[in-house]
Structure formats: C-alpha cells, structure tokens
Amino acid sequence: MSPSDTPIQDRAPAAQAAGQAERSAAGKPALLEVEKMRVEFPTRRGTLVAVDDVSFHINEGEVLGVVGESGAGKSMTGSAIIGLLEPPGRIAGGEVRLGGRRIDNLPYEQIRRIRGREIGMVFQDPLTSLNPLYTVGHQLIETIQTHTDLSESQARKRAIELLAEVGIPAPDRRIDQYPHQFSGGMRQRVVIALALCVNPRLVIADEPTTALDVSIQAQIIKLLHKLCREHGAAVMLITHDMGVIAETADRVAVMYSGRIVEVGPVREVIRNAKHPYTHGLMGSIPMVGHDLDRLTQIEGSMPRLTEIPPGCPFNPRCPKVFERCRHERPELIPVEETQVACWLYDENEGATANGGRSGSHG
C-alpha cells in the first residue's frame, strides 16, 4: 500500500506550534476545552464527586498524558468528555467544548455523531473490547459506514487498508476472521484501527496497554502515537506509566482525588515537578541514570471519594503542608509554563513558595 492511498489530514505542523502555547494566541480555541467539569454519582449515602472542577485543554494534534493513582478520576474524565458515563454518573457542572462547540449538553443523536467521527476511544482491554460474534471486518465496515457514505465494498477496502496500517499481516484474509482468532496485541491493533477508522480529531486512549503483555506494550504505544500523528489526531493518553508519558506526551496532567493538581509541558513536569504530589510521583519512578536507592514513596494513600478532606485533598500526605492547605482549596496557579494547584505557589505566600520549591527540587 502506498502512503497516498490513505487520506491523511495534515494537522501536525499546526499542532506542534500550538503545543508550545497554552492557548493559541490568535484566539482560536483549542481542540478540546474542558472547563470546571464536575462528575457526580448520586448514591444512597449522598453524592460522590468523582471529578471535581477539572479544567484543561488539548490542542490540535497534541498528546496530553493524564496520570495519577488508581481512582483519581482519569477514566471518569475520559468517559465524561465523550458522553459515556455509566448512569447514574453525570456531568453536574462545567463545560466541554470541541473545536469551540459545546458538546456536554448535546441531544443524544448529536453526541452519537461525534463519537467515533470526531472523538475516537481506545479502551484498556482488547480481549473484551471487540464483539466476539462478529468478524473484525464486520465491525470495521459497520463503523465506517455509520459515519460515511462509503459503499460496502469501498468500506471494506478502507478496512483492509486500515488493518495494513496498524500492522496486521495478510489483512485481506484476516479481515474475515473473528476476534478470538487474534492475539491480544493484534486485537489492540484492531481496536486502534476501529478508533481511527473515520479520522477523528481526538483519540482518548484509556490505559491502552495495561492489559497487554509487557513485551508488546511499547510497540502498541508507538503505533498509536505514530498513527495519530499521521492522521492528525490529538491524543488524551491515560496511563500509569511515566516512561510512556515521557516518550510520547507533549504535555501532562496529573490528577489526584478527582482534581488536576498540575498540568504542563512534559519536560517541565518530569524534570521540575512543582506540586508535592507530582514530585512524590516522579520520585517513585525508577529512571535510567538515577540511583535506585533514591526512589521515594508517598506516605499514605489517596482518600476515598467519601473521605476527601477539606482544602487541598493532598494535605494529609503532603510533606510541605501548612495551615492554609487544610481549609482553602487551591485553584490552578500559573507558574512558568505549568499550572499547579498548590498554595506554595500563591503570590501572597511569597517567601514560603520559593523556599518550598528550591527545597523540593531534587
């Protein structure tokens, strides 16, 4: 297959430029803007807030990594954007905008058209993501035909191209096989083909390799990254793997207890973590060139949704906690290229902040 066979929207250059600025200077809105989004679960024992006033954006063609401990609300944020929260979960406040258009309050039929067409999604487990009763070709063709006017045979041709693109050998034969006839890695390739089959502008990948064999995780991430770049799709990459973030992401958002505690360019956040939580998170990751005995661990664990303390949710575990953290909730504060939700960086705290920073940087 020659490269010209595949329609590639060339969004990459614009994206790289936009990746530097927080929001493009010309006033053109970012591809995805999430503003003070709040996700709630009404339960018998009161309302649980799984995502609490989260704001971030993703520029065209950019890769935003999302990290945080288990239960931080990463998946909830992803599902909420695409309107797939499991009831009774719901977006209780804030806005989600795609290309400037608000999408969190759309009627069903309109949000359905956005799914797959504008925002693709890749889930964690490729073994269960595909319907076992249909061939992969059927599932690809069905998706392509749902969003385009292609005929059955055109859609099939496109499906075969896609399978070739994601690196499945003998795609014209494999297309008529069932998911169980593919290995885990191959199935995740099929899932990626499905997510990208009508060239969405954004792909939300929720731990796309966690369920896979370690030996093929890197391959799959590389493939996802490469394809999204070629198709000009931005990526929201949810993962636990800081190594993956360091290699693929342009920016990274760190979540804790349903909030974003720090968001900024990847190099900044990794090399020069500002939030004490991020700092602890980076300290707990073994990195090439660092001594293993310098690995640190954050004391305690993330509070359950029912037990989130007032003020900063990290305050009970924070080594730099002070009085204000226990009462007042910090908003994201711009510091250099990053934004960080920590009172250490509030201008009014002046001296404390600087002292805290120079001391925390390792």
Partner 1 sequence: MFAFIVQRLFQAILVMLVVGIISFALFRFTGDPVNNMLGPEATIEQREALRERLGLNDSVPVQFINFIGNAAKGEFGLSYRVGKPVEELIATTLPATIELVFVSALMALLIGVPMGVYTGLKRHAALSRVFLTVSLIGISLPTFVIGILMILIFGVWLGWLPTFGRQGVVDLGVWQTGLLTLQGWSHLIMPAFTLALFQLTLIMRLVRAEMLEVQRTDYIKFAKARGLRNRAINYGHALKNTLVPVITIMGLQVGSLLAFSIITETVFAWPGMGRLFLQAIQFVDIPVMSSYLMLMAFFFVMINLTVDLLYYAVDPRLRAETLGGAAH
Ligand X SMILES: Nc1ncnc2c1ncn2[C@@H]1O[C@H](COP(=O)(O)OP(=O)(O)OP(=O)(O)O)[C@@H](O)[C@H]1O
Residues lying near ligand X in the complex (CB under 6 A)? 41, 48, 50, 68, 70-76, 86, 89, 305
CB 255 within 8 A of CB 37: no
CB 246 within 8 A of CB 61: no
Residue 206 Cβ vs ligand X, minimum distance, rounded to whole Å: 7
Question: Coil, strand, or helix at residue 133?
Answer: coil
Quick one: 80 or 281, whose CB is closer to partner 1?
80
* CB crowding 237-246: b at 16 or more within 10 Å, else e: bbbebbebbb
Which of Mg ion, ligand X, partner 1, none has residue 143 at its interface (CB below 5 to 8 Å by kind)?
partner 1
Partners of residue 97 on adjacent β-strands: 33, 102
Quick one: 188 or 315, whose CB is closer to partner 1?
188
> Cα–Cα distance between 42 and 351 in angstroms, integer?
42
Residue 270 Cβ vs ligand X, minimum distance, rounded to whole Å: 19
* CB crowding 284-316: b at 16 or more within 10 Å, else e: ebeeeeeeeeeeeebeeebbebeebeebbbbbe
Which of ligand X, Mg ion, partner 1, none has residue 23 at its interface (CB below 5 to 8 Å by kind)?
none
Q: Which residues here bind Mg ion, judged by CB under 5 A?
A: 75
Question: Coil, strand, or helix at residue 115?
Answer: strand
Which of Mg ion, ligand X, partner 1, none has residue 130 at its interface (CB below 5 to 8 Å by kind)?
partner 1
Give the other-Cβ count within 10 Å of 226's Cβ. Answer: 14
Quick one: 121 or 164, whose CB is closer to ligand X?
121
Quick one: 227 or 238, whose CB is closer to ligand X?
238
148 binds partner 1 (CB under 8 A): no
Which of Mg ion, ligand X, partner 1, none has residue 70 at its interface (CB below 5 to 8 Å by kind)?
ligand X
Which of ligand X, partner 1, Mg ion, none has residue 76 at its interface (CB below 5 to 8 Å by kind)?
ligand X
Which of partner 1, ligand X, Mg ion, none has residue 41 at its interface (CB below 5 to 8 Å by kind)?
ligand X
Residue 190 Cβ vs partner 1, minimum distance, rounded to whole Å: 11
234 binds partner 1 (CB under 8 A): no
> Cα–Cα distance between 317 and 297 in angstroms, integer?
11
Query: To which residue do tokens 């250099």 refer?
Result: 336
Quick one: 68 or 264, whose CB is closer to ligand X?
68
Which of ligand X, partner 1, Mg ion, none has residue 116 at its interface (CB below 5 to 8 Å by kind)?
partner 1
CB 313 within 8 A of CB 257: yes
> Cα–Cα distance between 300 and 210 in angstroms, integer?
24
**Residues near partner 1, by CB under 8 A:** 82, 84, 112-117, 120-121, 123, 125, 128-135, 142-143, 146-147, 177-178, 180-181, 191, 194-195
